[in-house]
Amino acid sequence: MLLSEMICATNLAWGMYPGLSHGAADALKHHGTDEQKSTYLTKLVEGVWTGTMCLTEPHCGTDLGLIKTRAVPADGDAYAITGTKIFISAGEHDLAENIIHLVLAKLPDAPEGSKGISLFVVPKFLPDAQGNVGERNAVSCGSLEHKMGIHGNATCVMNFDGATGYLVGPPNKGLACMFTMMNAARLGVGIQGLGLIEASFQNSLSYARDRLQMRGLSGKQAPDKPADPIIVHPDVRRMLLTQKAFAEGGRMLVLYTAQMLDLVEHGQPGEERDHAETLLGLLTPIVKAFLTEVGFESTNEGVQIYGGHGFIKEWGMEQLVRDARITRLYEGTTGIQALDLLGRKVLMSQGETLKVFTKEIHKFCKAEADNPALKEFVVPLSKLNAEWGELTMGVGMKAMQDREEVGAASVDYLMYSGYVTLAYLFARAAKHASVSLEGDDKAFYAAKLNTARFYYQRLLPRTKAHAQMIQSGASSLMAISSEDFGLGFEI
């Protein structure tokens, strides 16, 4: 994940090629047959073949139960795959010898909806007896999709015209198998948001130190120059520190989640592993949605710091904004992630999933309650941690009467959860920094404390607005009928 952030910060569009290959490899590792692993996994790991995930279709969006792609039994264990998939990142290119498509399709006797989806591996070139590239399969790029950003990545409409494919996992369990890849992709997209925050911050900081404009409000800061660097101005500092706080907080969130992932994949069965698995499920939609939302905000702040130059293509800042915009959409929109968090992960577990995390935060706050160096962090964190549970209970009670309450509260609930989660991680960082101020890295730890203070004083108060909107309920959203939505706009 550390390496992934560097790749995303350097060139997000290029980084999607190996990123998707990792996802395809994970899916085959967990659900493929021994023969499939031998044929495809080795080449994917070597990097000479790349992978894709082919999910949605022109009429589907997120509702994959509506897919029309069909898989008909053919010779031996093969299937003939026919259908059209859209938004296929890295779908067609010549950067690798072969492209391995993981495709969702329905068998002839499949149940309706998402319960009837199966997963198939469909290579661009069929491997020969030695496992090398053989004849071309009946899969082709129908068109390249012209995108707002990520122009270095080939996003394609892919046509499968009776293409040869092989079943991965059990029949009609394709969505569950694909979730191995989708969960990895959700974490990957969160890292994309983080990488773009970091890239925008580094560029913005360099520019703000060099750009001369006006004098500081308290007097000349650089008297030997015709104007002061814009980094002396409070509003520029506000934007820079917003980027810095989201970069550092986001990195802590990603690596904390990575620790949970390592425990799930490599830990011994038991309480610690179960705890990690619960937290991983809770944090994955937060990583994906929260970091992409604040990532888009941060790249926009980067353009603002550059002023008019930020709007000009040659400086590269507007590209970061365009690249960041897709991260809020693919692998499940912010709204979908929010429903997953509030509806599936929290409410469906009767709040038990959330309690696992809030108990951890409570234990930290209790242990540091008498630490004077952490009072400014522990007191507000403790209050928010309690409020998190109260808000959850409130939505749950309303949802018993009206299920629309979950959808109405979900995005604000996710953003609230993200801000509180980062607050916990910043408090932990502050604890470590506060006892490390006397060493050689004093400046580093002092900066960490200053960033934590900025986060608590300037960004964490956003939770108040999100809490109020969560509590406002669904009535103002649902009162207008679909037919009357346009009323009131007449001129």
Could you give the angle at which helices 271-306 and 234-266 cross, rounded to 10 degrees?
A: 150
Instruction: Name the residue among 141, 175, 188 with its Cα closest to residue 56.
Output: 175
Could you give the angle at which helices 442-454 and 404-434 cross, rounded to 10 degrees?
A: 150
Which carries the bigger pLDDT value, residue 321 or residue 486?
321
Residue 181 has pLDDT above 80, yes or no: no
Residue 179 has pLDDT above 90, yes or no: no
Q: Are residues 60 and 162 in the same domain?
A: yes
Model pTM above 0.85? yes
Any domain includes 481: no
| Residue partners of 262: CB distance under 8 A and separation at least 6 | none
Q: Are residues 255 and 295 in the same domain?
A: yes
Which carries the bigger pLDDT value, residue 48 or residue 488?
48
Average pLDDT over the chain reads 95
- Inter-CA distances, 78 with 33, 40, 42, 260, 485, Å: 13, 15, 21, 38, 50
Residue type, 161: D
Of all residues in the chain, the percent with pLDDT exceeding 70 is 99
Q: What total of structural domains would you count in the chain?
A: 3
What do you get for the CA distance between the two ends of the chain, in Å? 53
Q: What is the DSSP string of 179-209?
A: HHHHHHHHHHHHHHHHHHHHHHHHHHHHHHH
Domain with 83 in it: 12-171
Residue owning tokens 């093969």: 78
Could you tell me the CATH number of the domain that includes residue 92?
2.40.110.20
Any domain includes 146: yes
Q: Are 380 and 412 in contact (CB under 8 A)?
A: no
Could you tell me the CATH number of the domain that includes residue 203?
1.20.140.10
Domain boundary among 171, 201, 220: 171
pLDDT for the residue numbered 486: 78
Q: Are residues 382 and 460 in the same domain?
A: yes
For 88-127, the pLDDT digits (tens) are 999 999 999 999 999 999 999 999 998 999 999 999 999 9
Q: How far apart are CA 487 and CA 491, in angstroms?
A: 11
Q: Are residues 199 and 342 in the same domain?
A: no
Q: How far apart are CA 11 and CA 479, in angstroms?
A: 45
Q: Are residues 288 and 373 in the same domain?
A: no
Any domain includes 104: yes
The number of angstroms, rounded, from the C-alpha of 393 to the middle of its chain's C-alpha atoms is 26
Any domain includes 307: yes
- Inter-CA distances, 446 with 122, 235, 435, 439, Å: 53, 22, 10, 11
Q: Is residue 331 among the annotated active site residues?
A: yes
Residue 133 has pLDDT above 70, yes or no: yes
* Vertex 458: Cα angle to 235 and 241 (nearest 5): 50
For 398-413, the pLDDT digits (tens) are 999 999 999 999 999 9
Q: Are residues 238 and 318 in the same domain?
A: yes
pLDDT for the residue numbered 438: 85
Q: Are residues 48 and 149 in the same domain?
A: yes
Q: Are residues 185 and 166 in the same domain?
A: no
Residue 184 has pLDDT above 90, yes or no: no
Q: Are residues 25 and 137 in the same domain?
A: yes
* The one catalytic residue among 5, 331, 368, 405: 331
- Inter-CA distances, 107 with 78, 102, 111, Å: 12, 15, 9
